[in-house]
Amino acid sequence: MSKETKYVAKIADESGFIHYSDEEHDVWRQLYARQEVNLPGRACKEYIYGIEALNLPKDRIPQLSEIDSVLMETTGWKTEPVPALISFGRFFELLASKRFPVATFIRSKEDFDYLQEPDIFHEIFGHCPLLTNPSFANFSHVYGQLGLAATKQERVFLARLYWFTVEFGLMQGKGEELNIYGGGILSSPGETLYAMDNIPERKEFDLVTVMRTPYRIDIMQPIYYVIENISFLDEVVKMDIMAAVKKAQELGLFAPKFEPKAKAS
């Protein structure tokens, strides 16, 4: 989260309004239209409910106040405008206080298909709909509290838990279809189709196993962890997560299922 970025977050005016250009609104419109068609039958029902509750505009970037009014009413959360990249400490601090960080810039058309930094489309379209769900919202809150109190070394293992749930989580109840709840998938057309294909490996969620699994941010995920339903996140919260961190530290990481990232020359 400390790496450099070419993007600069938008600052709200005195009334709290963030001004975006017509070109920026058009990027949102294109991103929304491209991904909207992929959601039916793939996104979990809790996400669909959330996106309907937020009533996201399809032709413009929403104001954070529009999102906040719904989140506050449903789960007591609100968004927090942040720069393009923030520290782990700030990230955990915000989640611990039920504030979801939203970088207030949107990607350029040059980065339309892939962006390393989370932009406002990823944060609002990918994550905010599920923050209307009590189980998901509570998991995010407890996760923030744990991360805030964790050491730097422990946070690395906690990051894997977040990655394989909030960002790239799948769910499948007994006798039910596979669905997506991870915002990193839901905001990416390519990953949405790939995750639901028969190519990647899928495993039943196990807390210690998840924390021992390496990942790369710039590739399609070779492995996904599957929970039964969104309420399972309530069960995860009841687990001794920090004891699982220590266990994962003792056992060490699994061999990665991907090639190492090539170093820049």
Tell me, what CATH number does 242's domain have?
1.10.800.10
Residue 69 lies in a domain: yes
The residues facing 223 across adjacent strands are 201
Q: Give the Cα separation of 84 and 120 in Å (integer).
A: 9
Which domain covers residue 230, as residue numbers? 22-249
In the chain, which stretches have pLDDT less than 50?
Answer: 1-2
Q: What is the pTM of this model?
A: 0.95
Domain assignment of residue 1, yes or no: no
Structural domain includes residue 10: no
Question: In this predicted model, what pLDDT tens digit does every residue of 28-42 receive, in sequence order?
Answer: 999 999 999 999 999
pLDDT in tens, 230-248: 999 999 999 999 999 999 9
Give the integer Cα–Cα distance in Å for 202 and 126: 21
167 is in an annotated binding site: yes
Kindly state whether residue 255 falls inside one of the protein's structural domains: no
75: DSSP letter? T
Residue 2 within any structural domain of the chain: no
User: Which residues are the active-site residues?
Assistant: 122, 127, 167, 187
> Contact at 8 Å (CB) between 7 and 105?
yes
Does the annotation list 127 as a binding residue?
Answer: yes
* Residue with token string 């699982």: 244
DSSP string for residues in 123-179 = IIIIIGGGGGSHHHHHHHHHHHHHHHHS-HHHHHHHHHHHIIIIIT-EE--TTS--E
In a domain, 32, yes or no: yes
User: 224 lies in a domain?
Assistant: yes
Number of domains in the chain: 1
Residue 258 lies in a domain: no
Q: What is the per-residue pLDDT for 2? A: 47
Encode pLDDT of 105-141 as tens digits.
999 988 988 888 899 999 999 999 999 999 999 999 9
What does the DSSP 8-state code read for residue 108? -
Q: Is 141 annotated as a binding residue?
A: no
pLDDT attached to residue 3: 61
Closest to 28 (Cα-Cα) out of 10, 3, 47: 10
